[in-house]
Amino acid sequence: MEPVYRGLGRCVCCFWLAVAFDIVGLLVLLIGVFVNVFFYDLLIYAGAIVIFLSLIWWVFWYSGNIEVPPAELEDDVGLLKKDKGALSGISGAVRRLSSRVSSGIRTSLRRNGAPSGTRADRTQRSAGGPTLVEQVAVAMATMTPQEDTPHSTVSSVASCDVEMPHTTTETSPT
């Protein structure tokens, strides 16, 4: 048997906290308005803020006392009625299809990290083919200018010949 709530409803604690915040906020605000102190503006703002914070407790109290009949909750929490006939068969099939598609997308994103851009990439990943990764080695060296005529330097790195033009950097005297 369900308990019967009278008067304030289920969330009595939230109700009394809201009332207490309202009373304290109003007292602080009125003290700031009518008492001659040098920090009256602080009291006015603090009272207004406390009254505003009481709204949180009022919302908790109100939303905690909303009653929804179990018949309306059945579909929302997954408790489907068995006597809906053909309509429940179609909606059940749609739910199963939707669940399969969303779980397939979720597992695909987890496995691959992110969706790929090309169709060949996707088929190669789904087929489990090897992914080719090319590495390029680049050699860099500090060069000092030896003469004013430009010439090119040939460097051999990982069995590749790379031709790099000679460049100079001009600096202004400081």
* pLDDT confidence of residue 111: 78
Residue 157's DSSP bridge partners are: 160
CA distance 163 to 139: 12
* pLDDT confidence of residue 93: 80
| Per-domain residue ranges of the chain | 12-67
Digit-coded pLDDT (tens) for 161-170: 666 677 777 7
Q: What 3-state class would DSSP assign to 162?
A: strand
* pLDDT confidence of residue 130: 57
Q: What are the tokens at 17?
A: 């906290």
pTM of the model: 0.44
Q: What 3-state class would DSSP assign to 12?
A: helix
- Show the low-confidence residues of the chain (pLDDT under 70): 1, 74-88, 113-134, 145-164, 174
68, 71, 74, 77: CA torsion to nearest 10:
10
